[in-house]
Copies of this chain bind each other. A is one copy, B any other.
Amino acid sequence: MKKTLIMMIFCSSFIVSANEVKPAPNGITLPKGYQGWQVISSSHRVDNHSLRVILGNDIAINAAQNNNTKPWPEGSILAKLVWKEGKLPNWQQAIVPEEFIHSEFMIKDSKKYSKTGGWGFARWLGLEQKPYGQNENFVQECFGCHTPVKNNDWVYTIPSILPKPSK
């Protein structure tokens, strides 16, 4: 019994099984395979003690690499993965991801989402990926928080600088 429990805990790390994920209240469905997207940047929010990794689909990555993000092109999807901050057991001065909080997305479609800066917003909570929001008005909360970055195409993330890939 004890061994089984230990095994269950052990096997729960990194990736947890998910069945059908419900769409967000505004109809946006969870982008498939976002876990494998290329990284755009990361952040540590010291106000709410969370660590974030920001990924992008191919259109977004191409835009970031070519400095074509003002505005981001149609079809861009930005994924933000958010964890509670923890400490690395063997290096306490390294703040690292601990419990998974949510994944959230911005989807660029200027016509479809013209009322919210051309971006569709959606969020799924926890490893069970429960859609965030009681009804479609939840996007007003997302959009409101992004108002300070209206002049950056409503996006907080600034793509991190990286060496160019060799050919």
Query: Which A residues form the contact surface with B (CB < 8 A)?
Result: 10-18, 21, 30, 32-36, 38-39, 41-47, 51-53, 55, 64-65, 67, 81, 83, 88-91, 93-97, 99-100, 103, 124, 127-129, 148-149, 152, 156, 158-166
Contacts and interface: CB of A to CB of B under 8 A. Distances in A.
Given A160-B14, A164-B17, A55 B39 contact: yes
Contact of A13 (B13, B51, B67, B128): B67
A16 B164 contact: yes
Given A14-B67, A65-B15, A41 B96 contact: yes
Contact of A81 (B35, B90, B96, B162): B162
Q: How many copies, total?
A: 2
A63 B90 CA distance: 21
Given A41-B96, A93-B46, A14 B64 contact: yes
Q: Is the interface of A mostly helix, strand, loop or mixed?
A: mixed
Given A43-B95, A44-B51, A36 B165 contact: yes
Given A39-B39, A43-B88, A100-B160, 11 more contacts: A14-B64, A15-B165, A16-B163, A32-B165, A43-B51, A43-B95, A47-B93, A47-B94, A83-B160, A88-B158, A129-B163
Nearest to A160: B97
